[in-house]
Structure 1
Amino acid sequence: MTPQVVFVHGIRTSATMWRAQVEHLTAAGVGAIAVDLPGHGRRMSETFTLDGAFETIDTAVRDAAARGPVLLVAHSMGGLVAIEYMGREEPPPVDAFIAAGCTSIPRGAGLAIYRALARGFDRLPRRGQPLADLVLDRTLPPETRADFGAGGYAYDTQDIALRSLSVLDLVVALQRISVPMWFVNGQWDQLRLNERLFTKLKPEAELIVVPRTSHLVTAMRPRVFNAIVDLALATMARDRPTSG
């Protein structure tokens, strides 16, 4: 059976953020699918809910599992949701897990500040997109620069999604995850806030911090991130039982 990789995007962006990874895996003969969560990308008209996000991930995972062992890769908000999904009492059919840019507990003052900043950007001309474009132009390489916005930006979903994250119990979820796991952060990632707690709760997981890289590690260092995905796939192949 052929390994399968399911990608889950972060807040405001869409499945298009994973273009470099999907192309890399497709060229290697590995199955790859990037989903759009409710309220994002091709599903912009829908309302974001956690239940809808869990259902989206679960549907993609179970469909992929019918074709081969599954690696789940998720970023930022998608990573937080995926941690909760992976920590269910009945484990989903996932063989390995990469959680990128999401080592932060989305509660309390930190979440409140993040929401306030997002609402502040919404009040700027064009909801702050010119400033965001300037940052992306200066930090992302040409090969991935267009990927974050190719599916549109989910402005109207952002606060709804952020507010919903406060009910996640990541402390419990992390301790239930039993498959090989990697935390991947950029050196300058603002969501490294609880990195030590996450690695303490999941000591067998590997922490990879990419130097001179922002929160957008998947697009800022696409070749490095592709290599991490390859590492996870190699680990899955090593650990897979052989017949005969």
Structure 2
Amino acid sequence: MWRAQLEHLEARGVAARAIDLPGHGTRIAEVFTLDSALDAIDAAVRDAADRGPVLLVGHSLGGLICTEYAGAPTPPPVAGFVATSCTAIPRGLGLRLYRTLAAGFNALPGRGRWLTERVLRATLPVETRADFGAGGYAYLAQDTALRSLSVLDLVAALRRIRVPLWFVNGQWDQLRLHERLFLRLAPHAELVVVPRATHLVTAMRPEAFNAALDLAVAVVADTADNGRGPTC
């Protein structure tokens, strides 16, 4: 799902890596746990930090977990953070409703993949249409991952984040629910709303998202004091 961003950053000479969380992509056979997801993010960040300042970018589930990670009591070696399609507190009625909808969708014939593919054909440009599901769909990890989000303390995490921070959302993203709260909790953050985009903003409007990414890369490069370029 990050192909358009990886190609864009490579063309700019910015080293970048997209990781799979447990239960997803190349790790789809693994059991998802919140601890294992945080460990995967931490391992990638610390590996990249050996080569320069790190710009962390997360989307949706990954964005929520990255928010918890970036706002840990002991700050990780992150020089900037782009939180994409994840400005919602995953608790209470909203989370229960999301899990119920996901369960109903998965109960459809073929887990509703035919409907997913139809929606992607109708909303994503042809150049990114195949990217979103190219690593497979994490059906088995879905409910476990959603349920685990309820223990995240994003309010505390956001208050602790001191590095440059951007919230990037599609105009029609359902996870804009607590957007204003997130900005109050992290008043130094910048909000970027991409017009005519849904939750899948990275694939639906890749040029616009990449422009926001370029801004974040430039800021991290300017604030770095070691003379080395950023890694995403």
TM superposition score normalised by structure 1: 0.91
Alignment of 1:95-114 (within 5 A): 95-114=79-98
Residue in 2 that maps onto 1:124: 108
Spell out the pairing of 1:1-244 with structure 2 (5 A cutoff).
17-241=1-225
Q: CA deviation at 1:242?
A: 6.6
Q: Which one-letter code corresponds to 1:55 in the other structure?
A: D
Q: CA separation in 2, counterparts of 1:159 and 1:205?
A: 30
In the TM superposition, what whole-angstrom CA distance separates every residue of 1:204-235 from its partner, at most 9, and x where no partner exists? 10001111110000000001111111100111
- What percentage of aligned pairs have identical amino acids? 67
Give per-residue Cα distances to partners, 1:5-31, cap 9 Å, x unaligned.
Answer: xxxxxxxxxxxx101101111111111
User: Relative contact order, CA 8 A, sep 6+: which one is greater?
Assistant: 2
CA distance in 2, matches of 1:23, 1:212: 23
Distance 1:242 1:156, change over 3 A: closer
Gaps of 5+ in 1: 1-16
SS in 2 for 1:72: strand
Distance in 1, matches of 2:212 and 2:170, equals 13
- Indicate the RMSD between aligned Cα atoms, in angstroms: 0.9
- Three-state SS of the structure 1 residue aligned to 2:169 is strand
Larger relative strand fraction: 1
For residues 9-58 of structure 1, give each alpha carbon's deviation from its aligned partner in whole angstroms, at most 9, with x where no partner exists: xxxxxxxx101101111111111000000000010110000000000000
Distance 1:192 1:58 in 2: 26
* Aligned mates of 2:226, 2:45 — CA distance in 1: 23
Q: 1:149 is paired with a residue of what secondary structure?
A: coil
Bigger mean CA deviation after superposition, 93-102 or 24-33: 24-33
2:83 match: secondary structure: strand
Letter in 2 for 1:139: T
What SS is found at the alignment partner of 1:31? coil
How many residues are paired up?
Answer: 227
* CA distance in structure 2 between the aligned counterparts of 1:170 and 1:148, rounded to whole angstroms: 26
**2:8 touches 2:210 (CA, 8 Å); kept in 1?**
yes
Alpha-carbon separation, structure 2, partners of 1:227 and 1:60: 24
- The answer for the alignment partner of 2:230 in structure 1 is none
Deviation of 1:241 (Å)? 2.8
Query: Would you say the 8 A contact 2:5–2:206 is kept in 1?
Result: yes
Partner AA of 1:83 in structure 2: T
Q: Deviations over 1:170-227 (max 9, x none)?
A: 0000000000000000010000010110011011100011111100000000011111
Query: Which residue identity lines up with residue 35 of structure 1 in the other structure?
Result: I
Structure 2 counterpart of 1:194, one-letter code: H
Conserved? CA contact 2:52–2:226, under 8 Å: no
The whole-number CA distance in structure 1 between the counterparts of 2:8 and 2:36 is: 28
Separation of aligned partners in 2, 1:181 and 1:156: 32
